[in-house]
Amino acid sequence: MIEIQIHDDFDLDRIADSGQCFRWVKNDAGSYRIIHAEASLRIQPLENRTFAFSCSENEYRDIWHDYFDLGEDYRSVRKRVSPKEDPFLARACEYGKGIRILRQDPWETLISFIISQNRNIPAIKKSVELLCEAAGRRREDAWGSYCQFPSPEEILALPDEALAACRLGYRCRYVKAAAMDVAEGKLDLGRIQNEDEEEAIRALTSICGVGVKVANCVSLFGLHHIDAFPVDVWIRRILENEYPGGYPKEKYSPYNGIYQQYMFYYYRTLTGRGDKG
């Protein structure tokens, strides 16, 4: 267990509620359990911007510092927005202060956002958890057992009935197609992580069931291409209602993904979301 003081924007509740991660679990004491690839973490907010991490110094430096994107200065990114020139985005930045774009596992992000299509966030969380329990390896840590996110091979080994039991609906075949492409090496997530955003989108949309929106989510939340700009039903409403003259993407490059996330969180919370998950 180590204690780390974080000077930049960092709000666990807002990150957990920002629709980018589906497996964070909040405990009674206000701490979160987070599972990331092979690692698990318990993180507890303390006083004065300090957080207790249930890991070693080495693990923090090698895994969690990157996972929370603590090398980026989000305060500066927020300050780039002028309240006079763009009052809506300035309000969104202030409201969502503390959100960070996590550097999540690309494979988990791909499957999670394939599952996300045309569903609300509580339903996505439920299916992702069912999939982990059905196919992921069970592990133990100091707080009990949990399941890792299943590998492509583990998903492919799952009988059709077991996959259907994860309540994926018509997305079952999309999940299998993605697992097949990655298992066979047709899609190399490690390679596209180092490619530019355009090439990443092209490669991702070659998978059956992955369109432009899901590809942008994977690009942003899994490959950390922070200029990616996923447009879902909420962002479409924002663009229609708040930017009838057009959204100035060029102006906000290369941080469009971060601003997108502030706007998504702000608008969804403000206008009622139909879920409280």
Choose the stretch contacting DNA; rule: CB under 7 A; options: 58-66, 88-96, 189-197, 259-267: 259-267
**Which 189-218 positions form the footprint of DNA (CB under 7 A)?**
205, 207-215, 217
Nearer to DNA, 192 or 217 (CB): 217
Q: How far is CA 202 from CA 98, 198, 213, 219, 253, in A?
A: 31, 6, 12, 11, 20
Angle subtended at Cα 153 by Cα 200 and Cα 137, rounded to the nearest 5 degrees: 110
Q: In the stretch 105-144, what mask flags binding to DNA with x, by CB under 7 A?
A: --------x--xxxxxxxxx-x------------------
Choose the stretch contacting DNA; rule: CB under 7 A; options: 55-63, 83-91, 134-142, 161-169: 161-169
- 211: which 2 tokens? 């369109």
Q: How far is the CB of 236 from DNA (least distance, A)?
A: 8
Q: In the stretch 163-192, what mask flags binding to DNA with x, by CB under 7 A?
A: -x--x-xx----------------------
Q: Does 35 bind DNA (CB under 7 A)?
A: no
H or E stretch covering 164: helix 160-164
H or E stretch covering 33: strand 32-36
Q: Does 219 bind DNA (CB under 7 A)?
A: no
Count of residues of this chain found to bind DNA when the rule CB under 7 A is applied: 44
Q: How far is CA 235 from CA 6, 66, 71, 173, in A?
A: 30, 27, 27, 27
CB 186 within 8 A of CB 208: no
Strands (E), 37-171: 39-45, 50-53, 138-141, 144-147
Choose the stretch contacting DNA; rule: CB under 7 A; options: 74-82, 136-144, 230-238, 241-249: 230-238
**Which of 146-150's residues contact partners 24+ apart within 8 Å by CB, and which partners?**
146/33, 146/35, 146/40, 148/35, 148/37, 148/38, 149/23, 149/35, 149/37, 149/105, 149/107, 149/108, 149/111
Angle subtended at Cα 36 by Cα 230 and Cα 106, rounded to the nearest 5 degrees: 40
Choose the stretch contacting DNA; rule: CB under 7 A; options: 4-12, 16-24, 42-50, 59-67: 16-24
With CB under 7 A as the contact rule, the residue among 230, 247, 252, 259 that binds DNA is 230
DSSP 67: H
**Which 45-104 positions form the footprint of DNA (CB under 7 A)?**
none
Q: How far is the CB of 61 from DNA (least distance, A)?
A: 27
Interface positions with DNA (CB under 7 A): 18-20, 113, 116-124, 126, 164, 167, 169-170, 205, 207-215, 217, 230-235, 260-261, 264, 268, 273-277
